[in-house]
């Protein structure tokens, strides 16, 4: 049953001139490296593992100047696979640094227009029904620097305010069922215990839909940078609404107009008015390999590999172009395709050694699709920064060098 497939071989044919069944040839094929000649490192009695030292450059990076704990770090998307972001590489966006919270002293207060104000300790929450789901979190400012021109060199810098985890906690609908709600309650204020007391108003309708009071991320307790010991998860909503170090939920009749939804996180339109409460992250995608800063070392088979996501639901299609948008080919959606979750797409590509412009364009189940940056820019003007979900373009030169270009 010899398979005669298309020969897009990447491996090296071994010993083509020798019989493949010769014992001698097999020995020659299989040199014994030093690490096979003696036992490796012993295991530790109590340990929390770490990546290989050969992966030391796969880290979060930042291009912001730190002031009083204000800043962000970026996920190294080009090095990641699948849809899970390891906890150690989840992007960060802090308004007053990372508090070091003792979970035994932390609690969640639920008050305002409720029937019975209540306080929940961590132990209380662990006794309530739990749910887990995998979903992305994207900062609304992700790719903001690329609104009017191509500025940053690589995909970690252009799109790295994006990560995806399995989150576990108590449905907020269950907690509000315990406290009861007044008839005129329409909004929920969520407030963090960090020095910024980061706070946002969330529609009660959303709160009762799919919001989770989360205490775990990728199986373990939340990481400190992700809100340990409690974080609100608002699937599909802009990152800052997923309030970290959650300490308070207050029900009210109207939005609370916190500073984060008046002076910040609004979108200035061409007519001078600001779009407010732009909660849901639009449909978006990006090719992460090959991408800016990489170099193709030889013509031949490559895998074009990227991520697509939408705050409106599931991804339905991703198209890829290698000629700057003139022609498009449907990519394969790999593995799980989940609601408000990163979806991996792949496409085999034989690079012919010529100039190419790589693009991807995602579609979601709500009928949304990605547009070019030029179209979005023409529609929304110069001032937009948040919610840039335009198509990303990577230029592959004849030398194989890849750069970020604005199209």
Restricted to residues 68-87, the positions that interact with a copy of itself (CB under 8 A) are 68-69, 71-73, 79-87
For the four alpha carbons of 384, 386, 387 and 390, in that order, the dihedral sign comes to positive
User: What six digits make up the tokens of 371?
Assistant: 């547009």
3-state secondary structure of 400: coil
Q: What are phi and psi of 157, to 5 degrees?
A: -80, -35
3-state secondary structure of 124: helix
Minimal distance, residue 56 CB to a copy of itself, in Å? 8
Asked if 182 is part of the footprint of a copy of itself (rule: CB under 8 A), the reply reads yes
Q: Which stretch binds a copy of itself (CB under 8 A): 29-37, 314-322, 363-371, 387-395?
A: 29-37
Rounded CA separation 211/74 (Å): 25
Minimal distance, residue 177 CB to a copy of itself, in Å? 5
Of 251 and 376, the one with the shorter C-beta distance to a copy of itself is 251
Contacts of a copy of itself in 108-167 (CB under 8 A) = 109-112, 114-121, 123-134, 166-167
Angle at 313 between CA 189 and CA 166, to 5 degrees: 70
Q: Which stretch binds a copy of itself (CB under 8 A): 31-39, 261-269, 271-279, 390-398?
A: 31-39
Which listed residue (23, 50, 263, 271) binds a copy of itself by CB under 8 A? Answer: 50
Asked if 299 is part of the footprint of a copy of itself (rule: CB under 8 A), the reply reads no
Minimal distance, residue 278 CB to a copy of itself, in Å? 26
Minimal distance, residue 140 CB to a copy of itself, in Å? 19
Q: Which stretch binds a copy of itself (CB under 8 A): 47-55, 261-269, 278-286, 377-385?
A: 47-55
Contacts of a copy of itself in 248-277 (CB under 8 A) = 248
Q: Which stretch binds a copy of itself (CB under 8 A): 269-277, 312-320, 340-348, 358-366?
A: 340-348
Taking residues 186 to 205 in sequence order and writing x for each that binds a copy of itself by CB under 8 A, - otherwise, the string is -------xxx-x--------
Rounded CA separation 19/26 (Å): 10
Asked if 88 is part of the footprint of a copy of itself (rule: CB under 8 A), the reply reads yes
Q: What are phi and psi of 144, to 5 degrees?
A: -60, -35
Comparing CA positions, the residue from 240, 285, 290, 262 lying closest to residue 388 is 285
Minimal distance, residue 51 CB to a copy of itself, in Å? 6
Q: What are phi and psi of 21, to 5 degrees?
A: -95, 0
Rounded CA separation 169/214 (Å): 4
Of 39 and 272, the one with the shorter C-beta distance to a copy of itself is 39
Comparing CA positions, the residue from 309, 310, 308 lying closest to residue 360 is 308
Tell me if 249 sits within 8 A of 119, measured CB to CB: no
Of 71 and 293, the one with the shorter C-beta distance to a copy of itself is 71
Minimal distance, residue 33 CB to a copy of itself, in Å? 6
Tell me if 172 sits within 8 A of 213, measured CB to CB: yes
Asked if 178 is part of the footprint of a copy of itself (rule: CB under 8 A), the reply reads yes
- Report CA-CA distances (Å) from 41 to 45, 251, 351: 13, 55, 41
Asked if 223 is part of the footprint of a copy of itself (rule: CB under 8 A), the reply reads yes
Q: What is the DSSP code string of 220-287?
A: EEPPGGGTTT-EEE-TTB-GGGS-SSEEEEEEESS----GGGTTSS-EE-TTS-EE----BPPPEEEE
Asked if 5 is part of the footprint of a copy of itself (rule: CB under 8 A), the reply reads yes
Which listed residue (101, 268, 269, 407) binds a copy of itself by CB under 8 A? Answer: 101
Tell me if 108 sits within 8 A of 120, measured CB to CB: yes
Tell me if 74 sits within 8 A of 91, measured CB to CB: yes
Rounded CA separation 351/296 (Å): 9
Asked if 394 is part of the footprint of a copy of itself (rule: CB under 8 A), the reply reads no
Q: What is the DSSP letter of 141?
A: T
Which listed residue (142, 143, 156, 218) binds a copy of itself by CB under 8 A? Answer: 218
Which listed residue (140, 156, 157, 168) binds a copy of itself by CB under 8 A? Answer: 168
Asked if 42 is part of the footprint of a copy of itself (rule: CB under 8 A), the reply reads yes
Minimal distance, residue 252 CB to a copy of itself, in Å? 11
Of 120 and 369, the one with the shorter C-beta distance to a copy of itself is 120
């Amino acid at each position: 049953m010899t398979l005669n497939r298309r020969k897009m071989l990447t491996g090296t044919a071994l010993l083509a001139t020798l019989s493949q069944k010769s014992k001698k040839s097999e020995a020659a094929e299989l040199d014994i490296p030093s690490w096979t000649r003696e036992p490796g490192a012993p295991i530790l009695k109590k340990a929390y593992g770490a990546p290989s030292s050969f992966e030391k450059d796969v880290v979060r990076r930042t291009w912001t100047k730190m002031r009083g704990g204000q800043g962000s770090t970026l996920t190294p998307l080009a090095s990641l696979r699948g849809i899970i972001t390891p906890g150690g590489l989840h992007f960060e966006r802090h308004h007053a640094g990372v508090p070091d919270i003792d979970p035994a002293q932390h609690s969640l207060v639920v008050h305002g227009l409720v029937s019975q104000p209540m306080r929940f300790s961590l132990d209380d929450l662990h006794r309530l029904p739990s749910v887990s789901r995998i979903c992305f979190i994207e900062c609304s400012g992700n790719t903001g620097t690329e609104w009017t021109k191509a500025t940053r060199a690589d995909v970690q810098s252009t799109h790295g305010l994006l990560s995806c985890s399995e989150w576990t906690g108590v449905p907020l609908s269950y907690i509000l069922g315990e406290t009861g709600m007044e008839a005129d309650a329409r909004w929920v204020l969520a407030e963090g215990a960090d020095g910024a007391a980061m706070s946002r108003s969330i529609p009660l309708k959303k709160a009762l839909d799919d919001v989770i009071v989360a205490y775990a991320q990728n199986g373990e307790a939340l990481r400190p940078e992700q809100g340990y010991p409690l974080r609100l998860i608002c699937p599909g909503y802009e990152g800052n609404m997923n309030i970290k170090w959650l300490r308070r939920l207050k029900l009210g009749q109207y939005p609370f107009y916190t500073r984060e939804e008046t002076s910040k996180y609004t979108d200035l339109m061409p007519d001078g008015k600001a779009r407010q409460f732009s909660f849901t992250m639009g449909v978006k995608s990006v090719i992460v390999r090959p991408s800016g800063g990489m170099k193709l070392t030889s013509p031949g088979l490559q895998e074009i590999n990227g991520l697509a996501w939408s705050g409106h639901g599931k991804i339905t299609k991703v198209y890829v172009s290698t000629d700057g948008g003139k022609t498009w080919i449907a990519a394969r959606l790999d593995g799980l395709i989940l609601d408000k979750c990163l979806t991996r797409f792949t496409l085999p590509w034989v690079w012919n050694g010529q100039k190419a412009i790589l693009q991807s364009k995602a579609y979601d189940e709500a009928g949304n699709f990605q547009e070019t940056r030029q179209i979005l820019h023409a529609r929304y003007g110069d001032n937009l920064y948040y919610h840039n979900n335009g198509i990303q373009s990577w230029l592959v030169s004849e030398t194989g060098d890849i750069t970020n270009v604005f199209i």
